[in-house]
Structure 1
Amino acid sequence: MKKLFVITLLSLILTSGHTQAVEATGNDNLPDISLYDMNGNKVNIAELGKSGKVTVFNFWATWCTPCKKELNNIADIYEDWQADYDVQIIAVSIDDAKTKANVKSYVDGQGWEYLVLMDDNKELQRLLNGQTVPFTVVVDKNGMIADKHSGYVEGDEYLLEEKIAELSNK
């Protein structure tokens, strides 16, 4: 019985870092709301999605280790993605009033070339039905939500690249 308990407990621990696809119908538009970038400039979300590029919104926080790992891994290959697929990555911080002061110094220290937006009240995340971070929303060239994904495990960036490649060829 004790052995079964240990095996069950280990299984739960090992799968707690799982990723999960979140339903996206392919018929949903981005919400017409605005967030602010790190310099205080207002940015309309719906307009970002209508850029004619595949757009990836990646929700993260400075206190979220898997979030930072994912965005750092994407940063390593982002230049190639831009050249191959003309994709834009938008890193959306959900850091609240207590931690949002850490965002700019973290991003600057990492050298990310992403547009970073602040969603400190989690309005955009809620409107897109995001429950946790990391949370990724992929938008096609026409501004339609094509895919949603929660969580991160090492290598998920390559699955994301496959989705970006598929949408870039449409």
Structure 2
Amino acid sequence: MRKILLFLCLLPVCLGSNAQGRLPKITLKDIEGRTIQTDTLSNNGKPFMIAFFATWCKPCNRELKTIDELYDEWRQETGVRIIAVAVDEGQNINKVKPLVDQNGWRYDVLLDPNSELRQALNIQMIPYTILFDGQGNIVYKHNGYTDGAEIELYEKIKAVGSR
């Protein structure tokens, strides 16, 4: 009886650990105020990437500016979709749209002011990048940004896109 009870107690933990390879269901808004369910994010069977950032984070902004310069080429070659998620809180959340507009970023930008998605994915520091395959499975994670890191990221995107 104890073994059965132990099994039943551990079953949800085991099943839940499988779900960590995909996006959890969290409700966010984009910078236009539209509601988005994170578990529905996709890219029509092609890879997509989520980059977590904040307006005050210099490495985050360097990463997103660099990737924006390469985005057309990346999309043309791999079909990748890039989604930026701002984790700014309080008054800083009002700085996200002006930053995006000022830089002309063409990414989809979501707002995570309560860090619900960041916490659900156990992200401790930003910038943080997650790459998903066309089925929505997490295939690559990277913390931080240094100049040139986008080259490794693009190699990962190409590898995932060719599967």
Q: TM-score, normalised to structure 2's length?
A: 0.86
Distance 1:77 1:145 in 2: 22
The one of 121, 129, 132 aligned to 1:136: 129
The residue identity in structure 2 corresponding to 1:102 is K
The one of 35, 42, 46 aligned to 1:42: 35
**CA RMSD of superposed structures (Å):** 1.5
Q: Which residue of 1 aligns with 2:55?
A: 62
| Higher-helix-fraction structure | 2
Distance 2:111 2:66 in 1: 21
Equivalent residues, number: 146
Unaligned runs of 5+ in 1: 1-24
Q: Which has the higher contact order (CA 8 A, sep 6+)?
A: 1
- SS state of the match for residue 51, structure 2? strand
The answer (yes or no) to whether the contact 1:58–1:90 under 8 Å persists in 2 is yes
Tell me the CA shift for residue 103 of structure 1: 0.6
Q: TM-score, normalised to structure 1's length?
A: 0.82
The residue identity in structure 2 corresponding to 1:126 is Q
Distance 2:33 2:143 in 1: 28
Q: Which residue of 2 aligns with 1:153?
A: 146
The answer (yes or no) to whether the contact 2:43–2:81 under 8 Å persists in 1 is no
Alignment of 1:75-154 (within 5 A): 75-154=68-147
Percent identical among aligned pairs is 40
Distance 2:156 2:45 in 1: 16
Unaligned runs of 5+ in 2: 1-17
Tell me the CA shift for residue 43 of structure 1: 1.1
